Structure 1
Amino acid sequence: MDKKRRRTEKQVDFYDNPSDSQLDEGSNDSSDSEFSENSMDSDYEVVSETEDNNDVSEASTLSTGDNLWTEIPQNPELFIFQENVCFKLDTTNLTVQTLVDLFFSEEFLALLVEQTNLYAKQEIANLKKIKKSNRASQWIDVTVSEMKVFIALLLQMGPCTFPSIEHYWSRNKLYNVMFWRSHMSRNRFQLLLRYFHLVDNSVPSSDRLYKVRPILNHFNDIMSQNYVPNKNICIDESMLLWRGRLYFRQYIKNKKHKYGIKLSELCESDGIVMKIRIYSGKSEKTDNNLGHTTDIVLHLAEDYLDKGYTLHMDNFYNSVTLTKLLTTRKTYVCGTLRKNRKENPQDVINRELKKVEVTWQRNGLVTVCKWKDKREVLTISNMHVVEMVEVSNRNGKLSTKPNMIRDYNKGMSGIDRSDQMLAYYTCLRKTIRWPKKVALHIIEIYIHNAHKIFQKITAS
């Protein structure tokens, strides 16, 4: 029994990788990425500097295998940001409807209509006998205009939350809202919700995500083709609640939704989601031999390398090897680091610090820094010369932190902000079919993106 318990705990630790912006135990996913005495996890270490940079001798340089770590400071390379941050379509008479229609294009709606009708026919054909009272016997092929109304009604269930779908059509005084009844009958809505589909089930596929692949690719293509993000971007995980049986379901104890489907997302620091990758299990293939987390980073950031972007990541992704690789691709890196990663400077890892003390070492342009406040925190960067700076928290209280921590906190809040906004008006409900929930979640993410982009454009 003890062996089994130890083995289970080891497996949980592997996946238990909350972003450092969510280290406050029991906190909501929407909390800001702020390092404080209440938001630090004992497994995370940060670095800061106490020694005079000018008082360095040959003894301060040491060799760890093939890695040469030194305490001699060096100014980082200047990677010029080459992109023009913009929305690529004409914004002269831009409306929210224009942005929404960009996602719900004629081709995409035609796909939804075609596959929904096909899936309904396949399911009805599999029924041995359909009673006249069964809703399936009333099935009529959905049209594009009806699909638009269905999606609109579904999204409107977010701001107007009732206990169940039936309550939206209820004539009870407490729930009597004409909006839904005036656009679609309850039976028709539930039929469309039952058969809402994206792919042909009769076509075999080895891809575990094939049922959501069309909408996932559609979202990524729309964002990459039409919007150029600002210089500060970040990569982090988001959890979509799912407690049903699923091979690649994840458990992350510090998330609000501890069980669910893990989405790795590339975001702007203000919350616009640029690209999504869904974790589909340990057996998912990688495009290189550098490991799973490195593959996720390179996949999500492939369109933004060699352009001078600043990429913020937590310690689930960061390593010395990855930072060196991204440095060759003219991309800045700033984030936290796990103390057991390969190639870490052991002098920094093993050095005991007093409160507010800092220590660091550099290997080429890669700097690893450890700082102690209430706990030790490790950070890694290829864009900083370590120095202590004054930082004010949300209450206006001043404190002193390394500049790497300050910049990490500023740049890492994108996914938290996105999750926070989506949680307010989500239309997601309990279902026995995970592809449907993922598809609706991606639609909600795009609607939030459209809102943020419209705000940006109209404010400028």
Structure 2
Amino acid sequence: MANTREEALQTITDSEEEFTCSSDDDEDLEDESFHLKKQSETTKGPIYNESVALPSGAYHTRAASKRHSFFCTEDNLNQCESDSDQIPAAKRARTLSWKEETDVDQVPQTLRFLPAREPGPKLSDAESHSPMSLFKLFFTESAMENLCHNTNAQAARAIAKGCKYTWTDVSVDELYRYIGLVFYMAVVKMSSIADYWGEDSLFSLPFPATVMSRDRYRTISWNLHMSHPDADEENDRKRGTDQHDRLFRIKPLMDTIRLACKAFYHPRRNLAVKERLVACRANIGMTAYMKAKLTKFKFFVLSDSSNGYTVDFSVYTGNNSFPTDRGLSYDAVMSLLDRKVLGSGYHVYMDDFYTSPKLFTDLFTLKFGACGTYREQRKGFPKSAANSLSRRSSRGSIRWIRDGPLVCVKWMDTQVVSVCSTIHAAYTGERVQRKIKAQHTWKTKSFPCPAPVTAYSQHMGGVDLSDQLLQYYSAQHKTMKWYRKIFLHFLDIAANNAFILHKELHGNMTHDQFMEELIAELCGVSQKAAPKQFSTDHVPIPGAELTSDVRRIATVGRRICVHCKVVHRKKQQTPWKCQACDVHLCLQLNRNCFQEWHKSL
């Protein structure tokens, strides 16, 4: 298995270092350019011809140097006075109007699917892979050694500054046990960390104390460090300059996990891009403000829509997260879609935060199809009201406008749904079922639905599926430092991807069974043998408060013995009960029900 890991890592590293387009790809690109050129000349859709002469002096402006909007607006047509003779008013009106579902849409050119590697897990399905061996693909031995080294250095620094706790250097095996306890707490929820080691409660848990003590767990949590503290100080001195790296404290482990995510699994054709939020109250300039008055770390995530596997991710560090100046949403998507690593012909689905005509056409040039909801007020989208949907439009009504490979579709459901795509035709006959209320009864009715809307609903669930799997057994809990929040999210990504790999390779475990075996292997215990519970609370105590009347001491608080009633079918009364079990039991020389009762526990 070590050879398989090294081969996969070498493959993904080589593909990132060097990639050249084949002659077939060049021919495809020329064919596509010819197709788009021919289509732009012949289509009757709402295309603004870039060869039309600009108004006098327009070439001196910055806007004139940019590409024209993909869809004509009424203002643009009014400005093109020199074109009034070439484009009649009636024709301009038709250009601006939305088409209906009865109008035939030209199917866009289908991109050939040419993945860089065979989609699926890059591990041998003939071998048996345990949950821990798959988890170690992401948290490797070398990464754990580096984590231990930095954690020990941070603890030494803290003790030198006067922290009053005992510390011994953490080892790799102990750190794996620590991670096992973190996952155990993700599966078994308690109100606080201290409750996992409590012994005076009905809900006491014996397992955590058999792995490590409470104080040891807490000291490891306080000092957990992914980068060396001396290097952190050097990076902090550069704050405010271009040399400062906001992700310095998490980058060593983040780079390892990102490389492993791409190395051991190649995604299938349908991908999803979406943001993932990790709650945190830290105010460090990298968090995004939410309406719930909680600042959150924002991850841009690329996932496989078929199973929710996290293919790649990036961390939002502010508006200057990316070097280019085309907008955060544009740069976030482009940073995740690397043709050298993925290949070409992929279909990418995204929500309205990312969708823009510029992004979709650039992706199409790179041989990536795209589909997503869009915001009508965003620049470049059609804003014409001619023949558009209104609040009074009937349910199932469809309007669309096409410009080359780009089609914008509006569909009336309970409200207007706006979707843009370079993959689908506007309407190909799909229908959806909806429940409507008629004459005080609910009935199911079929409505026409645009092809982009149907595909978006089907494939955009990829990231939602990934988030759902993460939330089942999320390792997130309160921490003192922001980078430990992200460390816990790295654990979630590694465990979730390991489960998906195991499911793809073997498929013989449910999610909870996988987590149970992973926890047992990380903690070094047997999954079958549950730890024996030892308690000193099973002692006999009086069943009621003692009375000051000496004559009634033997009779006050007497109740029927549970053991006598269940086993012997007799109603024997006794003043004694068990402190832990809270049941009355006989305690006499010739009838010791207290001892017999606890033998069966």
- Cα distance in 2, alignment partners of residues 249 and 188 from structure 1: 31
| Secondary structure of 1:234's aligned partner | strand
Q: CA 1:120 to 1:157, structure 2 compared with 1: closer, same or farther past 3 Å? A: same
Q: Which residue, out of 370, 383, 399, partners 1:346?
A: 383
Matches within 5 A, 1:246-265: 246-253=284-291, 259-265=295-301
Whether contact under 8 Å (2:121, 2:504) holds in the other structure is: no
Q: 1:167 to 1:437 in 2, by over 3 A?
A: same
CA-based RMSD of the aligned residues comes to: 2.6
Question: Residue type of the partner of 2:191?
Answer: P
SS in 2 for 1:157: helix
Q: In the superposition, relative to structure 1, how do residues 243 and 343 fare at CA in structure 2: closer, same or farther (>3 Å)?
A: same
Q: 2:170 aligns with which of 116, 132, 142?
A: 142
CA distance in structure 2 between the aligned counterparts of 1:377 and 1:192, rounded to whole angstroms: 50
Deviation at 1:358, TM superposition (A): 1.7
Separation of aligned partners in 1, 2:159 and 2:401: 66
Alignment of 1:90-109 (within 5 A): 90-95=124-129, 96-109=131-144
Instruction: Write the mapping of 1:43-82 to structure 2, written as runs, cut at 5 A.
Output: 61=46, 63=48, 66-67=68-69, 69=71, 73-82=105-114
Q: In the alignment, what sits opposite 2:159? A: 124
2: CA distance between counterparts of 1:311 and 1:252?
26
SS where residue 113 of structure 2 aligns? coil
Partner Cα distance (2:70, 2:503) in 1: 48
- State the one-letter code of the partner of 1:217: D
Cα offset for 1:68? 5.8
Is the 8 Å Cα contact of residues 305 and 330 (structure 1) preserved in structure 2?
Answer: no
Query: In structure 1, what is the equivalent of residue 119 of structure 2?
Result: 85
Partner of 1:318: 355
Q: Which amino acid aligns with 2:352?
A: N
Does 1:209 find its partner at 2:247?
yes
Amino acid at match of 2:156: K
> What is the match of residue 589 of structure 2?
none
C-alpha separation in 2, matches of 1:413 and 1:152:
30
One-letter amino acid matched to 1:386: A
Match of 1:390 among 431, 438, 458: 431
Q: Structure 1 CA distance, aligned partners of 2:404 and 2:368? A: 15
Report SS of the residue matched to 1:437. Answer: helix
Task: Report the 3-state secondary structure (helix = DSSP H, G, I; strand = E; otherwise coil) of the residue aligned with 2:364.
Answer: helix
Deviations, residues 325-361 of structure 1 (Å, cap 9, x unaligned): 0111111101111112222223379834413322111
Shift of 1:191: 0.7
1:218 maps onto 2:256 in alignment = yes
Do the aligned residues in 2 keep the contact of 1:244 with 1:432 (CA within 8 Å)? no
Q: 1:166–1:186: 8 Å Cα contact kept in structure 2?
A: yes
Cα distance change on mapping 1:347 and 1:406 into 2, 3 Å = same
Partners of 2:418 and 2:332 in 1: CA distance: 22
User: Structure 2 vs 1, CA of residues 399 and 451 (structure 1 numbering), >3 Å: closer, same or farther?
Assistant: farther
The one-character-per-residue Cα deviations of 1:74-121 (angstroms, maximum 9, x if unpaired) are 221221222321211222123222211211211111111011001111
Structure whose alpha-carbon radius of gyration is higher? 2
Is the CA contact (8 Å cut-off) linking 1:379 and 1:405 kept in structure 2? yes
Asked whether the 8 Å contact 1:76–1:385 carries over to 2, the reply is yes
Q: CA distance change for structure 1 residues 60 and 148 in 2, over 3 Å: closer, same or farther? A: closer
Range that drifts further, 396-405 or 173-182 = 396-405
How far apart in 2 are the matches of 1:348 and 1:219? 48
Separation in structure 1 between the aligned mates of residue 312 and residue 119 of structure 2, nearest angstrom: 16
CA separation of 1:160 and 1:396: change in aligned 2, threshold 3 A = farther
- Per chain length, whose mean CA-contact separation is higher, i.e. which structure has more relative contact order (CA < 8 Å, sep 6+)? 1
Residue 139 (structure 1) shift: 0.6
1:134-159 deviation per Cα after TM superposition (whole angstroms, max 9, x unaligned): 32xx1111111111111111111111
Q: 1:217 to 1:349 in 2, by over 3 A?
A: farther
2:329 to 287, 293, 305: 293
Matched residue SS, 1:374: coil
Matched residues in 2 for 1:448 and 1:58: separation? 47
Match for 1:283 among 302, 312, 320? 320
Determine the structure 1 residue equivalent to 2:218: 190
The amino acid that maps onto 1:155 is F
Partner deviation per Cα, 1:62-82 (whole Å, 9 max, x = no partner): 538735656673221221222
Q: Secondary structure at the match of 1:103?
A: coil
> How far does residue 305 in structure 1 lie from its aligned partner after superposition?
5.6
- Identify the residue that residue 476 of structure 2 maps to in structure 1: 428
Runs of 5+ consecutive residues of structure 2 not aligned to the other structure: 1-41, 51-67, 72-94, 236-243, 436-442, 509-601
Asked if structure 2 preserves the Cα contact closer than 8 Å seen for 1:349 and 1:370, the reply is no
| In 2, Cα distance between equivalents of 1:145 and 1:165 | 22
Matched, 1:156 2:197: no
Contact 1:348 1:360 in 2 (8 A): no
Change in Cα spacing, 1:60 to 1:245, as seen in structure 2 (3 Å) is closer
Q: 1:422 to 1:397 in 2, by over 3 A?
A: farther
**Equivalent residues of 2:426, 2:450 under 8 A apart:** yes
Q: For 1:305 and 1:330, how far apart are their aligned partners in 2?
A: 11
Does structure 1 conserve the Cα–Cα contact (< 8 Å) formed by 2:299 and 2:316?
yes
Residue 233 of structure 1 pairs with residue 271 of structure 2: yes
Give TM-score scaled by structure 2 length: 0.62
Q: Is the 8 A contact 2:70 2:357 kept in 1?
A: no
2-structure distance, mates of 1:416, 1:59: 38
Report if aligned partners of 1:384, 1:404 keep a CA contact under 8 Å in 2. yes
Taking every aligned residue pair, what percent have the same amino acid on both sides?
27
Q: Corresponding residue for 2:304? A: 268
| Matched residue, 1:110 | 145
Is the deviation greater in 223-232 or in 86-95? Answer: 86-95
The aligned residue for residue 406 of structure 1 is 454
Paired with 2:107 and 2:355, the residues of 1 have a C-alpha distance of 21
Q: Note closer, same or farther for the CA distance 1:109–1:58 as it changes in structure 2 (3 Å cut).
A: closer
* DSSP-derived class of the 2:229 partner: coil
Distance 1:436 1:224 in 2: 23
